[in-house]
Structure 1
């Protein structure tokens, strides 16, 4: 009988698997008997203390105040709340929200719903057109602007400091999407933003926790019926065990993320170099150096991305294809389209904390014959 294929999970672009530390923290917290954090009894005080400690961890990670941190139901919910809340708070200024063309689909959808969206293009490696950005945010009627720290598909880091300075010069608040970078990149020195968002699932926390950090003095209004929880900035009692687990996961990255990132950066560099050398007619996307360490996307000409993803899965590699914002692997990537690259035949890799050099070696052995076989099957030239 054939030996079972050892599976390497390489889809951390959709979220790091739940860290063992976070899983244990969630289990411990769920059995701790914590109560309503607004109550004065001991279980309520314990819950409030756990939330305060979690806010301290997030604030430390992003260079904010603990009382500016809000826990939402997901990263997507945080993105919608950030954009919509700023649009409501600044509706007398205008109804235009500026984004890049490669922002996450949740941000683009929220900007469209807020009124009108002005999208600023990127170059072939995914870098923001700063000159165009400066002109666009300075236009009349701009309520807010949105930008990623790093792209969620190709990993390219954006010139956040320069973009934030352009917004500050004309009084436009900036929403900073830190989802792909939080825990992997030092964000404490990134100033100039008004609202920052993230998702605990991106760094190995529960998918049910999103992060919304609203600077004091920001003209942000809750775009939903509010109550007494979290200062009226997110409705309903927080899921304390999930929030606690998210904070434990983030703390693990704050302590060990630099070493993990250096190892992942070296592994991705090997992949970028060797894939391009071993597979003909292939595009590797994104900035080769100025990027988050764990993400890689490449596109193979004359190959269907879904077919290649399935063949790689059979060979023991769980990777993704299509748009990172879509549940369907067949949905073309708007990110690659905005960069002027192939939108089909693409494979998206997200290394996890546990990804190894041996897995990279095995992938480099498996990929070239698989691509050749699929091309032969399709009668490609």
Structure 2
């Protein structure tokens, strides 16, 4: 993340610039920007290791950019320069302008601030505060809406988790403050038809907020949105950095003035620097890595579908995130399967993508009409080796048998 001098800012030290400037983007079959994930780790939705270059950027910014970036003294201006450079870098990665990018403290914070800003604007102008959302939105969307005390019209989805466009047309027949539709489901992987959704919301005069969980760094950046909420942890950046991108022609009214380039709390400047560096590293190889991951998860889907293990694979087989596979199991609990696989060196997740409580039923699967005793999600981290997939497929039959036996 290269930075330039500015008449109002002191020059950032050479050490900081060096640490925050990306190495040459890898190409072809050469080295990748990530370290190899831990053996057996298949829970990218739960987190993945910080990129080495991002860690260097974080350490350098911690040394150099520790002051309030709004201050006019030397240390404050230096911090402001680092934060602005990170903001510009992320904007370039997303294909938007710097003024459309705002730092937040997490992806869910970005969602909450975006919703509050649009509902607050509607409320202050005496317009409808009603919100339209797909029935498979995460708790990061549903919880802020509950706190805002607004009417939420949830749009149906089909059996793969894709939004029902006919039901969306019904919901858009009445005025609303905002429409919330995820880019793709982090629970089952199904991508939403954002082009068709955005065409409808524009025609209805309603802004579209897209929560792009597990999407950035896994293929093309979504373009059909009015607000885009993302989290740096999805592209192997730090957990303490989120981004809310807002189209420049959209009027919104967040509680906190966005003029300084951040909303939803004071920004973590080292995390912002690390997030920008990670995005710069990942985006040049995102397409190739997505193709590799898609082939691995297609293999998992096929093996599970052909098995006699009492398993059903969920989500769309083609229009999906490249690295996520979710399947349901009969006669067992998710916790028992996760534990049995963990004892065999495999890390997966169970239950809702928004909670670690495996006993909590998934509202996503319920909305899809999927009934099951347990659901297991496999999500490949960036750089996941094929050997880890081999290990998982070999260990699963025995792990399921043990889990069922222990419950019996």
Q: Same fold (TM over 0.5)?
A: yes
Give the one of 231, 255, 260 matched to 1:230.
260
Secondary structure at 1:13's aligned position in 2? helix
Correspondence 1:1-381 to 2 at 5 A:
7-33=39-65, 35-91=67-123, 92-114=126-148, 115-139=150-174, 141-187=175-221, 190-191=223-224, 193-223=225-255, 226=256, 230=260, 234=263, 237-379=266-408
What's the offset of the Cα at 1:33?
4.9
What's the offset of the Cα at 1:376?
3.6
What's the offset of the Cα at 1:315?
0.4
What are structure 2's unaligned runs of at least 5 residues? 1-37
Aligned residues: 368
Cα distance, 1:95–1:48 mapped onto 2, change above 3 Å: same
Cα distance, 1:374–1:38 mapped onto 2, change above 3 Å: closer
What's the offset of the Cα at 1:173?
0.6
What's the offset of the Cα at 1:368?
1.1
What's the offset of the Cα at 1:292?
1.1
Cα distance, 1:13–1:311 mapped onto 2, change above 3 Å: same
Q: For 2:171 and 2:200, how far apart are their aligned partners in 1?
A: 10
- 1:128-151, CA deviations, whole angstroms, 9 ceiling, x for partnerless residues? 101111221221x31110011111
Indicate if the aligned counterparts of 2:289 and 2:382 stay in contact, CA closer than 8 A: yes
- 1:214-273, CA deviations, whole angstroms, 9 ceiling, x for partnerless residues? 2223221113xx368625x62654221110001111112212211211111111011111
What's the offset of the Cα at 1:343?
4.4
What are structure 1's unaligned runs of at least 5 residues? 1-5
Indicate if the aligned counterparts of 1:68 and 1:215 stay in contact, CA closer than 8 A: yes
- 1:292-345, CA deviations, whole angstroms, 9 ceiling, x for partnerless residues? 111111111111110000010110011110111113122111111111113432
Q: For 1:76 and 1:235, how far apart are their aligned partners in 2?
A: 10
More off after superposition, 28-37 vs 310-319: 28-37
Q: For 1:228 and 1:296, how far apart are their aligned partners in 2?
A: 38
Indicate if the aligned counterparts of 2:183 and 2:192 stay in contact, CA closer than 8 A: yes
Give the CA RMSD over aligned residues. Answer: 1.9
Secondary structure at 1:9's aligned position in 2? coil
Indicate if the aligned counterparts of 2:114 and 2:227 stay in contact, CA closer than 8 A: yes
Deviating above 6 A after TM superposition, structure 1's stretches of 4 or more consecutive aligned residues are none
Secondary structure at 1:90's aligned position in 2? helix
Secondary structure at 1:330's aligned position in 2? coil
Indicate if the aligned counterparts of 1:8 and 1:355 stay in contact, CA closer than 8 A: no
Secondary structure at 2:402's aligned position in 1? helix
More off after superposition, 57-66 vs 283-292: 57-66
Cα distance, 1:187–1:354 mapped onto 2, change above 3 Å: closer
